[in-house]
Amino acid sequence: MALRRERNTWGVAQFVLAAVLAVVVLRLWYELNGAGDGAGDAVLGNRGFMFAGFAAALAAGWFGHSSYPRVYNFKIYVLSVGVAVVSLAAVLLIFLGPRVIGSPVVIFYPATVLVSYLCLLFVFVVTVIAPEYLGYHVTRKLTLVIVGIILGWYALGLGIPVLRRFLAFQLTNVGDAESTAFWALSSAAAVVLFLSLFTEAHSTGIGGIHAGGVLLLSVGWLAPGSDILLHAIVITALPVLVAVGTLIHWLRRLENRASYDPLLRIYNRGWFDRVLDDQSRLDTRPPFSIALIDLDHFKAINDTHGHDAGDTVLREVAQRVRGAVLPHGTVARFGGEELAVFLPQHDETMARDLLEAARRALAERPVTYKNTPIAVTGSFGYAVRSERGQPLSIVLQAADRALYAAKDAGRNQVKSARLHRRTESAS
């Protein structure tokens, strides 16, 4: 078993929060509809409802915007800002739209809701497939493009009378399993759910926000007898989930910052030392493998392409190795251009298979820096703790000897060192 942060960060807490919010939304909707005397319509026209929606949307946007300089996560930034923009637009249009545009509420409200659903699912699809890390300027530009697309869809969908009536008709019949809107919304939600489960297992809670978000949204079109009031409550509740989920993501990332290398985006040497001192949550019971990886000819890369290129290569190498060993192992920076890999419950054969996969991940594809391909390879040395009496420091020394054996044998290969009670040998 690897660290909990590496194995169990999909976002179960966020998903449970979404389920609780879904129950609360349905309960509130039932109570308002049961109150009679137009209680539901009164809520839609109530300033308190508008201010609650504004507050939730602004909270989501603020948490997302404020988190970026601290966690540098493209997904959480765009997700928070996108949901905030859609929710603000939806609440504003539901409250003021019919008076400004002069469209009957029986057409304007459903059209607004369907455009909002489509925009929210668009934001979810983009962020579930996007990488977590992009440069600050790229993040800002892409976010502005996404916001522009959202506002453009609102302008087209609500500004063109024919399209407005079409959208209203589609939402009015969304409860019909044969309707286009039902299948479009449900298909997009299913895609987000599937991708969140299989691509965001190590996203520090973002997977739970995505899956929980589509769960909450789907209440709007799957609940029997759903109406504009239910849709409005759902759209107002979603930014609450995103705001809380973003805050949880932010706090967990800050909690781990002391153990985090910000350049390579893996664990740092301090965390590595705590594992060796048996002061971490890592399971070090035998069999437990330790590997050391040295980037071949890294000085030549720095001398030829510059230190910025060297940093880019180091970061890409670290992420490729991490991707190759997860979820079975954990990667840390050992020093300079050297990485360390811990593989709990991996014997010599299992460890070699994973490390060979990591070696191939480096060698088979160059790193691109400013449109220039840079070939990279790594030398790998590892050793296995097979008995409890073997100190991890001795296993590390054996892995270091194996690493030098790999370099002496020509680099770009994997070598192991077997520990015995009295002797060690490299192979």
Single out the catalytic residue among 6, 200, 316, 337: 337
Rounded to an integer, what distance in angstroms lies between the CA atom of residue 213 and that of residue 360?
37
Q: How far apart are CA 129 and CA 192, in angstroms?
A: 9
Beta-strand pair 266-267/288-295: unpaired
**pLDDT on residue 423:** 43
* Number of Cβ within a 10 Å radius of residue 285: 11
> Could you tell me if 271 and 388 lie in one domain?
yes
Q: What per-residue confidence (pLDDT) applies to 164?
A: 92
Residues 310 and 246 in one domain: no
User: Token pair of 393, please?
Assistant: 């420091």
* CATH code (residue 229): 1.20.1070
Give the mean pLDDT per block of 10 residues along the chain (427 residues): 50 95 94 64 66 92 88 92 96 74 78 96 96 86 96 94 93 83 94 94 90 96 89 94 93 78 87 82 88 96 93 95 92 94 95 96 94 96 92 94 96 90 49
Domain ends where: 221, 255, 289? 255
pLDDT given for residue 5 in this prediction: 40
Tokens of 9: 């960060």
Range of the domain at 132: 4-255
Give the SS3 label for residue 367: strand
Query: Do 203 and 340 fall into the same domain?
Result: no
Residues 250 and 323 in one domain: no
Catalytic-residue membership of 337: yes
Same-domain status, 141 and 208: yes
215 and 144, same structural domain?
yes
149 CB contacts (<8 Å, ≥6 apart)? 122
Residue 162, number of CB atoms within 10 A of its CB: 7
d(CA 285, CA 1): 10
Torsion angle of alpha carbons 80, 82, 88, 90, nearest 10°? Answer: -130
Shared domain for 162 and 75, answered yes or no, is yes
Largest Cα–Cα separation, the chain = 88
- What pLDDT score was predicted for residue 6? 44
pLDDT for 40:
52
If asked whether residues 286 and 216 sit together in one domain, one would say no
Q: Total domain count for the chain? A: 2
CA distance 40 to 56: 20
- CATH code, domain with 378: 3.30.70.270
